[in-house]
Chain A
Amino acid sequence: MPTELDAAIDVVAREMTEGEPSGALRARVLERIEQGRRHASPGVPRWAWGGAAAATLMLAVAAAVWVVSPLQNRDTAQSTVAGQRAGGPGSERPAVQPAVVSTQSAPAEGMPAASARRGRAVAVQGVQAAGLEGAQDFSAVPALAEIEPLRFASVEPPPLHIADVEISQITEMPSLEIPSLDPGSNDIQSADPKKEK
């Protein structure tokens, strides 16, 4: 009977693992492989896409900050100047004039007169061009002297009020009598009662 049982166990165990996969297994495997290829870009690992996306986002944020912040500064400056010109405290102050470059500068030593004249003409043209550019600049950016100086008075704390302290007269205290604590003296606390007996 044991040999029959062994045979029966073999048969049942074989039954439990018997069977064939469906004929479409090969097609399904190859299709999934193809799908995987379509999803993955050739030559570019997946992590690179994440990095590129992060870099693009950072660039976009940086560009937005760069574009917006000069506009805000210009708007603030123009509104400040407009407020001052409308009767603000700094409206009577004289505007700062652009620095004037002297066109009568002496020619350098050893330089011929013709070339010195040409140099002066070029300098005059440069100054005129600079004057035009300066005018445009001043229309956009306020002069430093026109900006209202900061006032810190409002930040000052209120003065302290401390009530006067009254000190009463010190009355005379009665003097205390302290027995002598010299060695060999009759100290009550250190005295041994047994020795005394």
Chain B
Amino acid sequence: MSTKGVSDPELVERARRGDDAAFGTLVDRHRTAVFRAALAALGSREDAEEVAQEAFVGAFRHLQDFREDASFKTWLLSIAWRKALTRRRNVRTMLRRFVQPPEDTEWQVPDAGRTQEQSVIDSELRGHIRREISKLAPKLRDALLLTSAGEHSYSEIAGMLGIPVGTLKWRVNEARRRLKGRLAEIGYGHD
């Protein structure tokens, strides 16, 4: 049975009845959004991939619990976000215990496939911004990265984080304000 053009609620209903292909379509449809949300929380592509997989498996197991108050995507993203936060806490604990503080860890950014716009930015400035984003408080950093990822709407992110949209917007603005302040301290943004 074809699943192209079928709505999420219909696919969920089919998956509940044991149609694996329907759930496979849901995976294909939301894999990028789930992966990017996990990447925003973890900064590691391998960890994000594992969390995305766990999130989909967990969603399938709890498909009976899904109420259609929110969209399937929001529900799925909140599962992925919880799993990513759990992993982040574990990783942070391990790093604190054995290696180094997490703010010194480098965010994994792919070098290939940069657009012209990206190449315009000075590589040194890019490095500073990346470092300052990594040093932001997790709540501010999460809000900034999730909104910048372009895969999620404000209401989806607010639902995922469990906060009002207004709070989310404030966090994004506050993250930008702090970043610009830090960059100004090191010579960017003024004069």
How far, in Å, is B102 (CB) from chain A's closest CB?
A: 14
In contact, B32 and A8 (Cβ under 8 angstroms): no
How far, in Å, is B107 (CB) from chain A's closest CB?
A: 5
Interface residue ranges of A8-60 to B (CB < 8 Å):
8-22, 25-26, 28-30, 32-34, 36
Out of A5, A10, A17, name the residue touching B188 (CB < 8 Å).
A5
In contact, B28 and A26 (Cβ under 8 angstroms): yes
In contact, A20 and B130 (Cβ under 8 angstroms): no
With a cutoff of 8 Å between Cβ atoms, the chain B residues found around residue A11 in the complex are 117-118, 121, 126
Quick one: CB contact mask for B91-127 with A, threshold 8 Å, 1 for yes?
A: 0000000000000000101100010011001000110
In contact, B31 and A26 (Cβ under 8 angstroms): yes
Whether A177 is near chain B, meaning CB under 8 Å from some CB there, is no
* Complex Cα–Cα for A18 and B27 (A): 18
In contact, B130 and A21 (Cβ under 8 angstroms): no
In contact, A8 and B121 (Cβ under 8 angstroms): yes
A2's closest neighbor in chain B, by CB? B189
In contact, B145 and A26 (Cβ under 8 angstroms): no
Interface of A is mostly: helix
* Complex Cα–Cα for A21 and B39 (A): 10
In contact, A12 and B24 (Cβ under 8 angstroms): no
Whether A133 is near chain B, meaning CB under 8 Å from some CB there, is no
With a cutoff of 8 Å between Cβ atoms, the chain B residues found around residue A22 in the complex are 49
Chain B CB within 10 A, most for which of A2, A12, A34: A12
Tell whether A30 pairs with B20 under 8 Å between CB atoms, given A1-B190, A5-B189: yes
In contact, A13 and B36 (Cβ under 8 angstroms): no
Tell whether A13 pairs with B133 under 8 Å between CB atoms, given A25-B27, A25-B49, A33-B60: yes
Out of A13, A19, A30, A34, name the residue touching B145 (CB < 8 Å).
A13
* Complex Cα–Cα for A141 and B49 (A): 76
In contact, A15 and B24 (Cβ under 8 angstroms): no
Interface residue ranges of B49-103 to A (CB < 8 Å):
49, 52-53, 56-57, 60-61
* Complex Cα–Cα for A26 and B52 (A): 10
In contact, B43 and A16 (Cβ under 8 angstroms): yes
Q: Which are the 8 A-B pairs with shortest beta-carbon distances?
A: A13-B148, A17-B149, A21-B35, A12-B129, A29-B56, A26-B27, A17-B40, A17-B36
Binding site for B on A (CB under 8 A): 1-2, 5-6, 8-22, 25-26, 28-30, 32-34, 36
